Amino acid sequence: HCAAAPVLIDTEGPIKSIVSWQYGFPSIGEPGITSKRPGFVQMYNQEIIICFDNQIKHRKQLIAAIKRRADMYRNAKIATLPLMGRDKMDIDTYILTYGIEAYRRVINGALSVDVWYSLVR
């Protein structure tokens, strides 16, 4: 069960979480960056990595939404998908285009909220 995984990726959209899960990354998919499903509670010692779509448009809103979500967890980390010259990048596109090892590097390179926020401000 993904809610009991030691590392859990919180992403935007059920399809993206399914693609991530298929490749061995336990994930939950919220139905948008401003929502939070009731009932999910972070387990003690569980690491949560937030990996939302990365995009150029609405950057301030995206940063604010990630910060709000991170505030819901203890010691969340933020993983940022590289844009790779695009205006927007999501998990499924990234995995299918660049491969699972590239995605694994993004997830393994997740930053603490404080470090991430100091870089995106």
Quick one: pLDDT at residue 52? 92
Is pLDDT of 37 > 80?
A: no
Torsion angle of the four alpha carbons 25, 74, 80, 6, in this order, in degrees rounded to the nearest 10: -20
Quick one: pLDDT at residue 36? 63
Is pLDDT of 40 > 80?
A: no
Quick one: pLDDT at residue 39? 62
Is pLDDT of 38 > 80?
A: no
According to the 3-state scheme, what is the secondary structure of 57-105? CCHHHHHHHHHHHHCCCCCCEECCCCCCCCCEECHHHHHHHHCHHHHHH
Q: State the pTM of this model.
A: 0.91
